[in-house]
């Protein structure tokens, strides 16, 4: 990863994904670059070509909010990606190293999750590692080599494509959900990206796109080794007391086969008393 110029790296990647004809520009048989040329981005954003080149090269690192919004418009960025671009423009090299304390899950949140015996819930960190899980949340991902690391589970676990029937879509959303962490000076993220890039061509291709999509809500299918098919809806909630953490809560439609399967999973894995596994404290 290029720690020195994440802003320029993001701009180059996103520029390559924009088709000129989508913005009314001729594709041209002699076009030698994928996507837009630098001068085209600059003209459409209302800045000089020299200024834009300096942004991509890292010689100019702090564009104004107005320039960032103009670039986001030209590059067709969605809301999460626009917020990420603004964050990159505000950052300075090495100024955003994650606080190790932010990986600790508060006892209050742990207790709240324990009170949901019929609802799978997990707390994820910036790198989508499972920091804590209640009994049913732990059971949902149990039995895999990487059950405590959702990124490695998707790309390295030999059972991933069975566990996730819609694996291709899950791979896209997982990488897009991991991408916001790249705005931090995080050696552990660097190691993760290097490992997955070497092991998975799909990860390498998706990571190079610089897609940004925070986890919010989605319907996801699982093929669980104990109870079979599950279709669950999740909501991902930010934990304001611990920036970078997300509480992810899963639920099945009432009266559905998935609700019955989730209830069966709960009975198969029930513990007395109900508890939460705080993985960050282990």
What average pLDDT is seen over the chain?
87
Q: Are residues 226 and 107 in the same domain?
A: yes
Q: Distance (Å, rounded) from C-alpha 182 to C-alpha 244?
A: 12
Residue 199 lies in a domain: yes
Q: Are residues 114 and 20 in the same domain?
A: no
**Helices 65-75 and 6-17 meet at what angle, rounded to 10?**
30
Give Cα separations from 62 to 1, 56, 66, 162, 265 (angstroms).
Answer: 20, 11, 11, 45, 51
Final residue in a domain of this structure, among 52, 72, 90: 90
> What is the number of alpha carbons within 13 Å of residue 100 lying toward its C-beta?
3
The three-state secondary structure class of 36 is coil
Q: Are residues 53 and 161 in the same domain?
A: no
> Which pLDDT band, with edges at 50, 70 and 90, does 277 fall under?
low
Write phi, then psi, for 130 (nearest 5 degrees): -85, 110
> Which pLDDT band, with edges at 50, 70 and 90, does 202 fall under?
very high
Q: Are residues 86 and 105 in the same domain?
A: no
Q: Distance (Å, rounded) from C-alpha 145 to C-alpha 143?
A: 7
Nearest to 275 by CA among 159, 26, 148, 107: 107
Examine the pLDDT at 44 and tell me if it is beyond 60.
yes
pLDDT at residue 21, as a whole number: 83
Final residue in a domain of this structure, among 31, 61, 90: 90
Q: For residue range 210-262, what is the model confidence (pLDDT) as tens digits?
A: 998 887 889 999 999 999 999 999 999 999 888 889 999 999 999 999 999 99
Count of other CB atoms within 10 angstroms of residue 208? 14
Residue 237 lies in a domain: yes
Domain count, the chain: 2
Question: Which CATH number belongs to the domain containing residue 135 in this structure?
Answer: 3.30.450.180
Examine the pLDDT at 208 and tell me if it is beyond 60.
yes
Q: Which domain holds residue 122?
A: 100-281
Q: Distance (Å, rounded) from C-alpha 175 to C-alpha 257?
A: 30
Q: Distance (Å, rounded) from C-alpha 35 to C-alpha 32?
A: 9
* Residue ranges of E strands in 28-112: none
Q: For residue range 115-156, what is the model confidence (pLDDT) as tens digits?
A: 999 999 999 999 999 999 999 999 999 989 899 999 999 999
Question: Which CATH number belongs to the domain containing residue 35 in this structure?
Answer: 1.10.260.40
Q: For residue range 62-96, what is the model confidence (pLDDT) as tens digits?
A: 899 999 999 999 999 988 889 889 888 887 544 45
Write phi, then psi, for 36 (nearest 5 degrees): -90, 150
Phi-psi region of 225 (alpha: psi -120 to 50; beta: other; left: phi over 0): alpha
Q: Which of 103-107, 127-131, 262-266 has the lowest mean pLDDT?
A: 103-107
Give Cα separations from 87 to 3, 5, 81, 277 (angstroms).
Answer: 14, 13, 10, 33
Q: Are residues 21 and 111 in the same domain?
A: no
Q: Are residues 44 and 118 in the same domain?
A: no
pLDDT at residue 203, as a whole number: 97
Q: Are residues 81 and 62 in the same domain?
A: yes
Examine the pLDDT at 179 and tell me if it is beyond 50.
yes
Q: Are residues 110 and 78 in the same domain?
A: no
Examine the pLDDT at 279 and tell me if it is beyond 80.
no
């Amino acid at each position: 990863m290029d720690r020195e110029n994440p802003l320029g790296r993001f701009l180059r990647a996103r520029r390559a994904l924009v088709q000129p004809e989508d913005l009314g520009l001729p594709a041209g048989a002699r076009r030698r670059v994928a996507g837009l040329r630098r001068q085209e981005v600059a003209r459409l954003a209302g800045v000089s070509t020299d200024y834009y080149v300096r942004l991509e090269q890292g010689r100019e690192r702090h564009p104004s909010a107005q320039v960032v919004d103009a670039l986001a418009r030209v590059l067709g960025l969605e809301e999460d990606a626009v917020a990420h671009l603004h964050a990159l423009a505000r950052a300075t090299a090495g100024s955003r190293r994650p606080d190790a304390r932010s990986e600790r899950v508060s006892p209050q949140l742990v207790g709240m999750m324990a009170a949901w015996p019929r609802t799978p819930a997990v707390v994820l960190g910036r790198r989508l590692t499972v920091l804590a899980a209640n009994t049913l949340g732990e059971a949902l991902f149990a039995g895999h080599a990487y059950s405590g690391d959702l990124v490695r589970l998707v790309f390295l676990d030999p059972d991933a494509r069975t566990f996730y029937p819609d694996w291709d879509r899950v791979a896209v959303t997982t990488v897009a959900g991991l991408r916001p962490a790249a705005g931090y000076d995080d050696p552990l993220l660097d190691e993760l990206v290097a490992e997955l890039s070497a092991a998975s061509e799909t990860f390498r291709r998706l990571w190079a796109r610089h897609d940004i999509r925070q986890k919010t809500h989605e319907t996801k299918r699982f093929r669980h080794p104990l109870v079979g098919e599950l279709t669950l809806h999740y909501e991902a909630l930010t934990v304001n007391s611990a920036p970078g953490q997300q509480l992810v809560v899963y639920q099945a439609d009432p009266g559905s086969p998935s609700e019955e399967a989730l209830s069966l999973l709960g009975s198969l894995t029930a513990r007395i008393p109900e508890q939460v596994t705080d993985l960050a404290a282990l």
